[in-house]
């Protein structure tokens, strides 16, 4: 297998061309064009949630954060809704001066768009390194290839790294349903994302009935001091606490994965802009969609 160092060397040599391919459209420079390649380019990172919770579940997780649909000038979330885009981490796009975290998403997106074979080779090499670290520590190696995007690259690469568990949240109904039915690689799972529109709700029910999982964000308040309870059921299916772990591939089949809306600053305005993407517990409780629980 190729080494990470050799692939990175090739990426550096090709970067000006990659940057041009990804960042120029109709003669205009997109935000993605201005991405800087870091000194030690790595696709996989982690989050505080995975580091804190997944180690307790025996999992070592790597996450790839690419630009969400509205950030780079290229759409890497083809199935995004207006509500989820408004609530997404990339909602403040358009600034030419950006933080290191935003630059990290942009250069990875540029590599994915401008040289996808190189992106895949680097991700597979990092997957092999992650697997070695996990096995040495007695943990399950896992990769979420679309931490902030929805490209489906994880489903494509999972057969090439069969000893790593790959998983995604996705609004791609066909991919989520295929994963629920066991039609994709056995080491790949996809959790369908709720957005609240009628068609999305119908598809969520079909996926749940097929044994899949559906992630739903509730307006349940969360703070450092406490976590308010999630509903016990939603759409007639049990709700599991998705904030307890990021390891979605360990979730029971036919389960709604409840996530708490994390925004605390200008919360009312954020809820309003998110629309039906955020489920309001009080309103749906009156309508009888779920039962209150813990």
Give the CA count within 13 Å in the CB-facing half-sphere of 200: 20
Q: What is the pLDDT of residue 261?
A: 79
**266 found inside a domain:** yes
**37 found inside a domain:** no
**292 found inside a domain:** no
Quickly list H helices, the chain: 4-23, 48-53, 82-86, 100-114, 116-136, 153-157, 173-180, 198-209, 267-274, 281-287
Q: What is the pLDDT of residue 95?
A: 39
**30 found inside a domain:** no
User: Are the C-beta atoms of residues 11 and 122 closer than 8 Å to each other?
Assistant: yes
In which domain, by residue range, is 252 found?
4-23+42-287
The residue assigned the tokens 């790593």 is 164
Q: What are the residues whose beta carbons fall under 8 Å from the beta carbon of 245, sequence distance 6 or more?
A: 53, 54, 56, 57, 59
Structure tokens of 158? 């999972």
Q: What is the pLDDT of residue 208?
A: 98
**103 found inside a domain:** yes
**Main-chain dihedrals φ then ψ at residue 14, nearest 5 degrees:** -95, 0
User: Are the C-beta atoms of residues 214 and 208 closer than 8 Å to each other?
Assistant: yes
User: Are the C-beta atoms of residues 242 and 256 closer than 8 Å to each other?
Assistant: no
Structure tokens of 237? 């299916």
Q: What is the pLDDT of residue 132?
A: 98
pTM over 0.85? The answer is yes
Tally of structural domains, the chain: 1
User: Are the C-beta atoms of residues 60 and 139 closer than 8 Å to each other?
Assistant: yes
Structure tokens of 253? 């089949």
CA dist., res. 51 & res. 246, Å (int)? 9
Tens-digit pLDDT string for the chain (294 aa): 789 999 999 999 999 999 999 999 999 999 999 999 999 999 999 877 676 667 778 999 999 999 987 789 999 998 876 666 655 654 443 333 458 889 999 999 999 999 999 999 999 999 999 999 999 999 999 999 999 999 999 999 999 999 999 999 999 999 999 999 999 999 999 999 998 889 999 999 999 999 999 999 988 766 555 567 888 999 999 999 998 888 999 999 999 999 987 765 666 666 666 667 778 776 665 444 544 333
CA dist., res. 267 & res. 269, Å (int)? 5
**32 found inside a domain:** no
Angle at 52 between CA 48 and CA 53, to 5 degrees: 115
Helix (H), strand (E) at residue 278:
strand 278-279
CA dist., res. 92 & res. 71, Å (int)? 8
Residue of 174, 175, 176, 157 whose CA lies nearest to 166: 157
**29 found inside a domain:** no
Q: What is the pLDDT of residue 87?
A: 58
Q: What are the residues whose beta carbons fall under 8 Å from the beta carbon of 125, sequence distance 6 or more?
A: 1, 2, 3, 4, 7
User: Are the C-beta atoms of residues 176 and 190 closer than 8 Å to each other?
Assistant: yes
**222 found inside a domain:** yes
Q: What are the residues whose beta carbons fall under 8 Å from the beta carbon of 6, sequence distance 6 or more?
A: none
């Amino acid at each position: 297998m190729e080494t990470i160092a050799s692939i990175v060397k090739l990426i550096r040599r090709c970067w000006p061309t990659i940057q041009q391919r990804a960042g120029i459209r109709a003669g205009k420079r997109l935000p993605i064009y201005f991405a800087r390649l870091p000194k030690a380019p790595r696709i996989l990172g982690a989050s505080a949630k995975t580091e804190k919770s997944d180690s307790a579940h025996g999992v070592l997780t790597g996450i790839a954060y690419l630009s969400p649909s509205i950030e780079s000038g290229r759409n890497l979330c083809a199935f995004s809704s207006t509500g989820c885009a408004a609530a997404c981490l990339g909602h403040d796009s358009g600034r030419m001066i950006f933080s290191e975290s935003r630059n990290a998403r942009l250069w990875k997106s540029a590599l994915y768009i401008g040289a996808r074979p190189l992106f895949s080779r680097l991700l597979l090499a990092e997957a092999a390194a992650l697997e070695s670290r996990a096995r040495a520590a007695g943990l399950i190696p896992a990769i979420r290839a679309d931490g902030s995007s929805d490209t489906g690259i994880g489903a494509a690469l999972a057969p090439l790294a069969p000893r790593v568990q790959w998983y995604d949240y996705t609004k791609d109904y066909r991919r989520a349903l295929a994963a629920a039915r066991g039609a994709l690689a056995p080491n790949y799972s996809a959790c369908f994302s709720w957005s609240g529109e009628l068609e999305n709700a119908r598809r969520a029910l079909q996926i749940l009935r097929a044994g899949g999982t559906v992630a739903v964000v509730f307006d349940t308040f969360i703070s450092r001091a406490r976590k308010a309870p999630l509903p016990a059921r939603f759409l007639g299916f049990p709700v599991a606490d998705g904030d307890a772990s990021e390891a979605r591939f360990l979730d029971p089949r036919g389960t709604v994965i409840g996530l708490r809306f994390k925004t605390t600053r200008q919360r009312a305005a954020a809820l309003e802009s998110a629309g039906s993407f955020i489920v309001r517990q009080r309103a749906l409780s009156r309508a009888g969609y779920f039962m209150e629980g813990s």
